[in-house]
Amino acid sequence: MEKKMDTLTLGSHRLVHLDLKGAPLRTCYFEKLFPLLRTWGATGLLLEWEDTFPYNRELSPIGSNGPSSLASGYSVQEAGHILQIAGDCGLAVVPLVQTFGHMEFILKHDEWRSLREVEAFPSSICPSNPRTLPLVKSLIRQIVNLHPDIQYLHIGSDEVWHLGLCSVCTKRAAASKYGKSALYLEHILAIAQYIQETYPYLKIIIWDDMLRSIDLQILNEHYIGKYVEPMVWHYNPRDNFALPIGLWDKYSTVFPNIWIATAFKGATGSTQHIPVIRHHISNHEKWLEELAIHVNKVHEFRGAAFTGWSRYDHYATMCELLPTAIPSLALCLKVWLYGYSEETHAQVAKSLGYIDHPLHIIPQPRPIPIPSNLLFPGWEIAVGMEWFLNFKTKFHNIVVSDQYMMIKVENMQKRWSFSTFSLEKNRFPIILGICH
């Protein structure tokens, strides 16, 4: 009999992250997926729209309404339908909109190129530019308007690779006793105060990585804990899982409410084809151990986001497509609730249609037998990717085989002999001409 983990450790929210940048799914796929997510234990969605969102008016160039946008972006009607499906399935929606780093989808456009912190890099926006805050406010306003029933808004703010580098930011950092930390926190506070004034019912979430290196005193003096809730993300498995020493003590002093983020896909390489499920299970197991030790330090542990990245940034290649990661997601949700066991594994595998073939959680030597007629939405894509990897392995084995190398050498020798013969034949009359 499955025993559910302690509620204090788990928190009350289990958000499945849908990273729509680069791989927006059809609405009919959500109709099949969302009921399963609820069955597997999810309570909501962390929805990262990026440029698939139907921005309009002054923001229309960056969204699915734009003239140069992806044809696969969502219309207002389609976006509303996605939210309706989620609501019908009892899944709360937390939209994620980037407001500091990872803003390539905006800063690549000529209209906003001048807002880059470093002209050559479109990832980070300049917090000192007077046009930055109005742009961020517009983004937030349009996102919130299309999500009327939300309680939380995630404002991103992770991996701000270029901070305090433009001429104005350099002077501001030099004039502040807290340097670049002040630049970061003041930008976050300006955004958070706008949200609090305009939408007082909303709670604000940010990624925590930029906060990790900021001293406790600086965080407290900026009263950042009054405005935002950090989401502590870490995607490594047990053998190299390492949060900064003292992180929980520092955060619990500053922030009354804390989230964490795991990963079920998109965290083992930017060109990964299918998830290494054992890696992700181990990540969840280690997170549970971490929380069991430290969660009592936190006033309220909100819960977890199960992240599934589609690509590492706006210009990056695609990593695992969502259908290939459905087994990993189902197992990770079950592991979070009940822990990993052979019984849990078998139950999930059977529910997904792995009856005649095992559901492997560690990579197997290829080529491997591939199942068919599975029971989860998009299984055809998952199976197709397995076939592709089998053929890729077979091709590689042929190319590096001794027999192939011998044939290749023989062909090279033939071409070399033919070329030499042709060269000598062509040179002969020239030599004669010179001699005459």
Q: Which tens digits make up the pLDDT trace of 372-416?
A: 899 999 999 999 999 999 999 998 888 877 665 565 556 666 565
CB 53 within 8 A of CB 65: no
CB 191 within 8 A of CB 140: yes
DSSP state of 55: -
CA 142 – CA 33 distance, rounded (Å)? 26
CA 352 – CA 92 distance, rounded (Å)? 24
> What is the predicted pLDDT for the residue at 406?
61
> What is the predicted pLDDT for the residue at 1?
38
Q: What is the pLDDT of residues 222-261, one digit of tens each?
A: 999 999 999 999 999 999 999 999 999 999 999 999 999 9
CA 188 – CA 204 distance, rounded (Å)? 10
The whole-chain average pLDDT of the chain stands at 91
CB 2 within 8 A of CB 343: yes
Q: Assign 433 a pLDDT band (cuts: 50, 70, 90).
A: very low
Domain range list for the chain: 7-377, 401-435
pTM assigned to the model = 0.90
Residue carrying structure tokens 């994620």: 96
Q: Assign 22 a pLDDT band (cuts: 50, 70, 90).
A: confident
> What is the predicted pLDDT for the residue at 10?
73
Residue 159 designated active-site:
yes
In degrees rounded to 5, what are phi and psi of residue 217? -60, -40
CA atoms within 13 A on the CB side of 374: 24
Residues 6+ apart with CB under 8 A from 237: 278, 279, 280, 282, 283, 286
Centroid of chain to Cα 296: 29
> What is the predicted pLDDT for the residue at 233?
98
The most confident of the ranges 27-36, 405-414, 421-430 is 27-36
Domain 7-377 CATH superfamily? Glycosidases (3.20.20.80)
Average pLDDT of the segment spanning 281-289: 98
CA 159 – CA 138 distance, rounded (Å)? 22
Q: Is the pLDDT of residue 436 over 90?
A: no
> What is the predicted pLDDT for the residue at 431?
30
> What is the predicted pLDDT for the residue at 63?
80
Tokens found for residue 150: 């939300």
Residue carrying structure tokens 């990872």: 102
> What is the predicted pLDDT for the residue at 410?
63
Catalytic residue among 31, 78, 159, 186: 159
> What is the predicted pLDDT for the residue at 365?
92
* Residue count of the chain: 436
Centroid of chain to Cα 66: 24
CA 224 – CA 254 distance, rounded (Å)? 8
Report in angstroms the alpha-carbon separations of 305 from 46, 103, 329, 341: 7, 21, 12, 22
Does residue 262 sit in helix, strand or coil? strand
Q: Assign 91 a pLDDT band (cuts: 50, 70, 90).
A: very high
Average pLDDT of the segment spanning 1-26: 78
> What is the predicted pLDDT for the residue at 35?
98
Q: What is the pLDDT of residues 349-368, one digit of tens each?
A: 999 999 999 999 999 999 99
Q: What is the pLDDT of residues 32-71, one digit of tens each?
A: 999 999 999 999 999 999 999 999 999 999 987 665 544 4
In the chain, the percentage of residues whose pLDDT exceeds 90 is: 83
Q: Is the pLDDT of residue 25 over 90?
A: yes
